[in-house]
Amino acid sequence: MQLRTGELALMRQLALQLTGVALDESKGYLIETRLGAIAERLGCNNFNEFYFRTRYQADPKLLEEIVEAITTHETIFFRDGAPFEALQFKLLPEVIDARERMGQNKRLRIWSAACSTGQEPYSIGMVVHELLRSLDGWDVQILATDIAKPTLETAQRGVFAEHDVARSQKPLLMQKYLEKTPGGMRVVDSVRRLVQFRQLNLLEPFGAHGPFDIVFLRNVLIYFAAETRLDIARRVAGTLLPHGWLVVGAAENLLDAGPQFAPQTHCRATVYQPAVQPVAPAGRR
């Protein structure tokens, strides 16, 4: 099904209303390829008819299917590398020290927002294992959320195709923490037990899920309009503990989100610690 004059604006509005994703005018091909088949299956003659049927007659399962089609799920284990190095050698050690000062040692809370098919939270779980070695006595919870229910169901199974696993930058960890199973490679139970999956739309309230030591909000803010992006970043920062860290994608920055979002670079990754005020350089005498 091809877009007619004026229909691209309607479908962009639909994407914004359902997901907050701001599709630009170059995404007509995405709408035609991902939503066209759904529209045809419903018996719609054009996207205009599809829009009004979706907005005023849609059932929840149809809306889930549309959200699944609109949102991007491209991800791999240890994607971009640097954030996971920063997690292991900077963020987690400092969080553990902060927890000890609070009298809450051996407790970690991490959120992987927009987790897609689960590779990110499972990668985080592997890093936790590598750093702590033994999890005996530890209370570790990794919350993994995404807007798309079918994607979360895939993530929860923890089974991935061998060629997808082979794309990881950490082949030794893949060998250590995944095991062969019918249909591919399965994340080992000791990692899967750390992760809890929940459906969540970042446009809706999520403060009750916190507080967290670390939040991964990677490769999702770029899809939102500026005002929405800043609102989400500030609300996510509000879920962090006083020592908490925020990790965003390599192509994202929060320089316009306010002075509390002062970027730091650790292990080549850009991270933020919104509740900690940066130390001003000493003045000259």
Q: Do residue 108 and residue 167 come from a single domain?
A: yes
Residue 89: inside a domain: yes
The reply to whether 38 and 94 lie within a common domain is no
Residues 86 and 215 in one domain: yes
User: Residue 285: inside a domain, yes or no?
Assistant: no
**Coil, strand or helix: which one is 237?**
helix
Six-digit token string for 208: 């009750």
pLDDT tens across 227-279, in order? Answer: 999 999 999 999 999 999 999 988 888 988 888 899 999 999 999 999 886 65
Q: Note whether residue 157 is domain-resident.
A: yes
Does residue 56 sit within a domain? Answer: yes
Name the residue among 8, 12, 14 with its Cα closest to residue 46: 8
Range among 15-24, 43-52, 67-76, 137-146 rated most confident: 137-146
pLDDT, tens only, 152-196: 999 999 999 999 999 998 999 999 999 999 989 999 999 999 999
Residue 165: closest CA among 156, 178, 153: 178
Q: Which two tokens stand for residue 271?
A: 């991270």
Q: How many domains does the chain have?
A: 2
From 36, 70, 104, give the residue that closes a domain: 70
The pLDDT tens digits for 49-73 are 998 888 777 677 888 888 888 876 6
Residue 197: inside a domain: yes
- Written in H, E and C, the secondary structure of 130-189 is HHHCCCCCCEEEEEEEECCHHHHHHHHHCEECHHHHCCCCCHHHHHHHEEEECCEEEECH
Residue 284 pLDDT: 46
Give the mean pLDDT of 26-42: 87
Confidence at residue 282, expressed as pLDDT on a 0 to 100 scale: 52
List CB contacts of 238: < 8 A, sequence separation 6 or more.
207, 210
Domain boundary among 45, 70, 95: 70
CA distances from 166 to 76, 116, 141, 157, 271 (A): 9, 18, 27, 18, 27
User: Containing domain of residue 17, as a range?
Assistant: 7-70
Give the range with max mean pLDDT: 43-47, 64-68, 101-105.
Answer: 43-47
Q: pLDDT band for position 33 (50/70/90)? A: confident
Is pLDDT at 3 greater than 50 in this prediction? yes
Whether residue 53 sits in one domain with residue 96: no
| Alpha-carbon gap, residue 94 to 271, rounded angstroms | 13
pLDDT band at 133 (very low <50, low <70, confident <90, very high): confident
Residue 268 lies in a domain: yes
Specify the pLDDT at position 69.
83
On whether both 160 and 233 belong to a single domain, the answer is: yes
pTM above 0.95, yes or no: no
Helices (H), the chain: 7-19, 28-41, 47-57, 60-70, 82-86, 92-101, 119-132, 149-157, 162-165, 171-177, 189-192, 226-237
The answer to whether residue 283 sits within a structural domain is no
pLDDT of 278:
61
pLDDT tens digits, residue range 266-276?
999 999 999 88
Computed over every residue of the chain, the mean pLDDT equals: 90
